[in-house]
Each structure stands twice: as C-alpha cells, then as structure tokens.
Amino acid sequence: MSPFKVVVTDYEYSTFAPERVVFDKLGIELTFEQCNTEDDVIATCKDADALINQYAPITGKVIEQLDNCKVISRYGVGFNTIDVDAATAKGIIVANVTDYCLDEVSNHTMALLLSFARKVTLLNNSVKNGVWDFKVAVPIYRLQGKTLGLIGFGNIPQTVAKKAKAFDLNVIAYDPFVAPEVAAARNVELVTLEKLCQHSDYLSIHVPLNEQTEGMISRKEFALMKKEAFIINTARGPIIDERALISSLQAGEIAGAGLDVLETEPIVADNPLLAMDNVILNPHSAFYSVEAETELKRKTAENVADVLSGYYPTYLVNKSVKNKVELKNKL
C-alpha cells in the first residue's frame, strides 16, 4: 500500500512516466483526477498528503479542507491557480519549476519578434493567396540598433536578452524587483515602465499574472508606445488589457502584436484580433517541447518527493512557510 496519497488534481498529459520514475523509488502510487471546481478538489483531495496541480483552483476554500496536505506542486512557473497565502498560513509548502522551458519560451519570443521584423507570416500568407511580391511587406527595417524592451527580468527574459543581443538589438528592461547590478551584468539597462514603453521598438512581456500585473499594459501604456512598436506576450493573456490592445491596433497607435496567450483561451470566434494581418496568434504553445515537458513533469514530482522525504523542495515558492514547517535543507 502506498505510504502517501498523492493526487494529480487535473492534467492534459498522455503519459506520467517521468513522475512514476520519481515516485516508484518511494513506493508511492499516484491518484489521477480531473477536477474543474473547488468542490471537485475538496471531494477528491481532502485527505491527500500532496497535490500536483495544473489548472484546477486551489483556493483558500479548498486549502481549508485539506486535512493532511503537506505540499502543493504546480506544473509550471506560474502559481496563480494556488492561494499561496492561505497555504502558507496552514503550513503547506507551495512549489513550482522556475527554470522550466527557459529555452522554449525565449526562442518563441524571438521567433515572434523575427516573424514580425521580417514580416515572414504576412509574406507567407500573401504567397499562398497567389501574390508573389515582396512589396506586400514594405517597409521592412533593419533589426540592428533597434530596442527590445523586456517587461520583467527573471530567468526567461534574461535568456531572451542574451539571444536578442546576438541580433545586435539594444535591450532595456522594467522590473522593480531586480537589482541594477543583475541587469548591468547582462548589459541591460533597467528603466521605468514609462521609459520602456516610450523607447522600445519591440516590447516583450515576462511577468507572472497576479493582482499587480493584471491589466498592467493598457491604454496609458499603448499611448506611450511608438507607432512602429510591436508587442509580444508569451506570459499570461490578462497582463494585457485586450480591449485597449484592440483599440490601439485599430487606431494605428502601435504596429502589431505577437500573442501566444490571450485573456480568454481558446480565442472566441468573433475576437477582432483574428482578422488583423498585423497580429500573429499562437495557441499558448511557447512552453512546449518534448524535452521541456519531460523535465517539468520530473521536477514537479521531485518537489513532492522532497517534502514527503523531509526536505524543503528545490523550487520553494512560499519561503516564509519555513516559520511553520521545519524540514531539512537539501545539500
């Protein structure tokens, strides 16, 4: 019999081989659920020792009912599905995988930037519609010397900055939580959000979704941007006020957008963005590669295994929980 009950609250995966490699060493069997609501999670996870979470809501209401839970580990970097404060108050460790898909998302960001800069998607569509004429894409400007503004300067945007510099782009960033010396070491200037909007030819969003960042790019920010500016979002859709974005695009206040994420996913059929030639849309795919998915699943499981073995996990979100839970630090 399994010594612990570990529940996967919900999932979109077809295999759990990476997780089983981790848990088989501890004799732990996984329980799989497809929870959509708070009540679903409470009903199936009330007595669980650990949760692995993808999208199911782990709210304060849910956490109140978790009688045995020691750790909640999320598939991903973001943890907006989990009420971290409520978990901390109850002494439950929250974990994520902060170095997941760094290469994939940074590459996808650059792919969207380059697709717009060289108008690859526009020209592809034109040729397939029977028009063989490069002038469809006029004007195209040289990348060298243009400025990429990064909103957020954590692991992923730092990787983006490194790759962008290979194209001779100037890189600036806005992140009030990053020390200037961290940015300076990467030859990136930290600026205010206002200055970033004013000076960037390309803006790329890399902040987590929370109360402070929801809708942070709205009418005021679009009004500051260059008419030639192109905005990229591979983070979370609601960080951009979508109505304001659509309005700015329709008014020609900015040049275009590359969006891997949207406020509502999947996109609704009457969304004006679908009809815009200067908008590139992807179905929330920037995170994906075969290797990244395998790594994510393994590390998410390792977070749980660490805690159930008496250790703080490598990827601890709520560090203040150490005031309530005394575990060993991994060497």
Query: Could you give the CA distance from residue 226 to residue 254 in angstroms, rounded to a whole number?
Result: 6
What is the biggest distance separating any 2 CA atoms in the chain, rounded to whole angstroms?
69
Active site residue 284: yes
From the list 29, 64, 265, 291, the catalytic residue is 265
From the list 189, 284, 295, 298, the catalytic residue is 284
Query: Is 139 exposed, middle or buried, given 0-12, 13-18 or 19+ CB atoms closer than 10 A?
Result: exposed
Active site residue 236: yes
From the list 236, 242, 263, 302, the catalytic residue is 236
Active site residue 298: no
Active site amino acids: 236, 265, 284
